Structure 1
Amino acid sequence: MTTQHDTSRVQVFKHAAGVYEGMVAFQSAAAKNFDQTVAELVKIRASQINRCAFCLDMHYADARKLGETQQRLDLIAAWDEVDGLFTEREQAALALTEAMTRLSDGHGVSDAVYARAAQHFDEGELAHLIAMIVAINAWNRFQVTQRAVPMSMAKGRA
Structure 2
Amino acid sequence: METRINAFEKGKKAMGALFTLSGYLKKSAIERELLELVDFRVSQINGCAYCLDMHSKELRAIGETEQRLYGLSAWRECPYYSARERAALEWAEALTKVQVTDEIYRIAKEQFSDEELVDLTLGVTTINTWNRFNLAFENTPGTYQIGAFG
Instruction: State the distance in 2 between where 1:98 and 1:88 align.
Output: 15
Deviation for aligned residue 1:7: 5.7
The answer to whether the 8 Å contact 1:95/1:113 transfers is: yes
How many angstroms apart in 2 are the aligned matches of 1:132 and 1:31? 10
How far did residue 17 of structure 1 move?
0.4
Q: Give 1:79 deviation, angstroms.
A: 0.3
Aligned residue runs from structure 1 range 101-140, under 5 A: 101-103=96-98, 108-140=99-131
| Distance (whole Å) between structure 1 residues aligned to residue 32 and residue 144 of structure 2 | 25
* TM-score between the two structures when normalised by the length of structure 1: 0.85
Give the one of 25, 32, 56 matched to 2:52.
56
Q: CA deviation at 1:98?
A: 0.6
Which of 82, 85, 93 aligns to 1:87? It is 82
Two-structure CA RMSD over aligned residues (Å): 1.7
Q: Is 2:58 the partner of 1:67?
A: no
Determine if contact 1:31/1:128 at 8 Å carries over to the other structure: no
Whichever residue aligns with residue 69 of structure 1, its letter is T
Q: How many correspondences in the alignment?
A: 144
Distance apart, 1:24 and its partner CA: 0.3
What residue number does 1:37 align with?
Answer: 33
Identity of aligned residues (%): 35
Distance 1:122 1:12, change over 3 A: same
Q: Which residue of 1 aligns with 2:43?
A: 47
Which residue matches 1:3?
none
Deviating 4+ runs (over 2 angstroms) = 151-154
Which ranges in structure 1 are unaligned for 5 or more consecutive residues?
1-5
Gaps of 5+ in 2: 146-150
Q: Secondary structure at the match of 1:152?
A: coil
CA distance in 2, matches of 1:19, 1:153: 20
